[in-house]
Amino acid sequence: MPHDTPLVATIVAGLVLAFVLGALANRFRVSPLVGYLLAGVAVGPYTPGFVADRALSLELAEIGVILLMFGVGLHFSLKDLMSVRWIALPGALAQIAFATVLGMALGHALGWTLLGGLVFGLALSVASTVVLLRALQERHLLDSERGRIAVGWLIVEDLAMVIALVLLPALAGRTGADGPAAGGLASLLGGPSLAATLAITLAKAAAFVALMLIVGRRIIPWILHYVAHTGSRELFRLAVLAIALGVAFGAAQLFGVSFALGAFFAGMVLSESELSHEAAAETLPLRDAFAVLFFVSVGMLFDPAILLRDPWPVLATVAIILVGKSLAALAIVLMFRHALGTALMIAASLAQIGEFSFILAGLGVGLDVLPERGRDLILAGAILSILANPLFFVVLDRLRPWLERRGGAADAVAQPAAPAGPPVPLDLADHAVIVGYGRVGRLVGEALARAGRPVLVIEDKSELAGELRGQGIAVVSGNAAAPEVLAAASLARARLLVVAIPNCFEGGQIVEQARAINPALDIVARAHFDAEVEHLRGLGAGVVVMGEREIARAMIEHALGRPAPA
C-alpha cells in the first residue's frame, strides 16, 4: 500500500516519473532537467493524482547535495580553494549584497517589512549547489580555472547562508518585540546577543574546518587506505559513503555548518589521496540518482497557479535572479580582470536559486517575518530560473567562437595563478600526446623522451601537472575528455596519441574526439576488459593494450623460465 510506505513511494514515483519525463525531454532535445522538474510538479500537491511526501523528498534531495559536494571536494585541494579566494570572497559577498538589495526593494514595493525583504533578498542571492555543479560537470568545467572560481564562490555563499540561518531567529526575536514594522536597520544590526550569536557561529565553523584540516586530513585517508587493502570492493564503497554522509551529518549536528559544506571538506581532505578517483567513481551512481530527486522535489513545491495569480511579482523575482544577479557577477568578475568568457560562464552558472533559498524561505515563514506570498514567489523564481539556466549555457556555447577570438589576449592576463613554467609550445608538430601521467603514462613518456621524441602530456591532477611543468615537460592541465582541453594539444599536427588512463568510458570519449580531429593519428589506448578493447577499437583506436593480458604474458614468461621483459 503506497500510503503505508511513504518513503518507498516517494523514491519510486520520483525516479520512475523523472525517468519517463526525462527521456521524453531528451527525445525532444531539451534538457532532461525539464523532465525531472515536471515529474515533481506531477507528483506534487497542486496537481491531481498521487501526491508524494514533500518533506521526505526534500530530505532525499539533501543526500544528493551531500554526494555532489563530496565529489567536488574530491577534485579540490586546499591549494585550489586558496587560489581563488581573492575573487570568490569579494565576488560572492558583493553579489549577495546586490541581489539582497534588489530583493528588499521588491519586498518594499509589495509592502513587506524590512526584515521580510531581507529574507526574501537573501533567498534570491544564493545559487543552488546541485544546479551549478550539474552544469559544470556536463561541460567538464569543474577542473578549469573558471570552474574553480564558481565553486569557491558557491562555498562562500554557502557559508554566508549558514550564518544567515542562525542569525535570522535572533533578528526576528529582536524586531518582534517592538512590532515588525518598527524594526529599523539600526535595530537589525548590532546588539550584544546578535554579536554573540554571530561569533559562536563563526567559531563553530572555524572549529570544524580546523578539525578537518588537522585531524580529518590524517584519519580519513588512512581509513580509506586501510579498507582498500582489505581488498573488498563492497567495504570500500561503504567506507566512501560512510565518510561522505557521516562527516556531512556530523558537521551539521555538531558544528552547525551545512551538509554541503561538511561533505565538501570530507572530499577535500581525501583529494590528495591516490584513491580519490576511485572514491569519486564509487559515489557516482547514487549521486546521480539523488540529484534527480532534488529536481523532483523542487518541482513538487511549485504551484503553477501562481503564474496566473501573481504574474508581475513573479516576473520581477525571475528578473532579479536571471538579470540582476548575472549582471552583478559579470561586473565583479570583469573588475578582477578575468576574460569575458570566464565572466559570462560564472554569471550564467550563478543565475539560479535552489535548496538554500527554500530553507531560508521556510524559516522566514515559520518565524512570521516573510509572508507566504514571499515563499511562493521564491519557489516560482527557483523553478523558472532552473528551467532557464540550461538556455544560458546554450547561448554561451553559441558565443564561444566569437569569445575565443576576442578573449585570447584577455585570458592571458586573466590567469596569473597558473603555475609558472614553459607554456605549451604552439609550434609543436609530429609530437606524441600522452593522456594521463600515472603508472602507465609516465613510463611511456619517459621512454619517448629518452628516444628524443617530442612529448605533450594532458594530466587531470593539477599538482602533478605543475610538477611536470617544473621539469620542463609540455603539459596541458585538465580532463582530456573536455573538448577545450583536448584542443589545446594540437592533435591535428600530432603523430601519436597514447590514452593511458584507466577509465575506459572517458578514454572512449577522448579517442572518439581525437579521431574526428585527426583521421591519420596513430592512437594507442589502455583497457582492462575485453569489452573495453572492442569499445575503444570501435571508436577509432588503432591499438588497444589490455593491461591484464600483458600482466599474464609476463607471468607466463616467468613461469616458463624465459627472461622477463623489461
Give the footprint of ligand AMP on this chain (CB under 6 A).
435-441, 458-461, 464, 479-481, 500-503, 506
Cα separation of 287 and 69, whole Å? 10
Measured at the CA of 161, the angle between CA 156 and CA 162, to 5 degrees, comes to 100
CB of 465 to ligand AMP, least distance (A): 9
247 vs 480, beta carbon nearer ligand AMP: 480
Cα separation of 332 and 447, whole Å? 47
211 vs 464, beta carbon nearer ligand AMP: 464
472-477 contacts, C-beta under 8 A, 24 or more apart: 472/421, 472/422, 473/445, 473/449, 474/422, 474/424, 474/425, 474/428, 475/421, 475/424, 476/424, 477/143
Cα separation of 287 and 293, whole Å? 10
Cα separation of 140 and 126, whole Å? 23
Handedness of CA 101, 107, 113, 116 (dihedral sign): negative
CB of 8 to ligand AMP, least distance (A): 37
Cα separation of 142 and 134, whole Å? 10
Distance of CA 223 to the CA centre of its chain: 25
Closest CB to ligand AMP: residue number: 438
CB of 282 to ligand AMP, least distance (A): 16
Q: Cell triple for residue 138?
A: 556536463
**Residues facing residue 526 across a β-bridge:** 545
CB of 504 to ligand AMP, least distance (A): 11
326 vs 479, beta carbon nearer ligand AMP: 479
CB of 508 to ligand AMP, least distance (A): 11
DSSP 351: S
CB of 477 to ligand AMP, least distance (A): 9
17 vs 488, beta carbon nearer ligand AMP: 488
370 vs 444, beta carbon nearer ligand AMP: 444
Bridging pattern class, strands 496-499 and 474-477: unpaired
187 vs 503, beta carbon nearer ligand AMP: 503
CB of 72 to ligand AMP, least distance (A): 16
62 vs 145, beta carbon nearer ligand AMP: 145
449 vs 464, beta carbon nearer ligand AMP: 464
For 287, phi then psi, to 5°, come to -60, -45
Cα separation of 507 and 541, whole Å? 10
Q: Which residue has the cell 579517442?
A: 511
CB of 478 to ligand AMP, least distance (A): 7
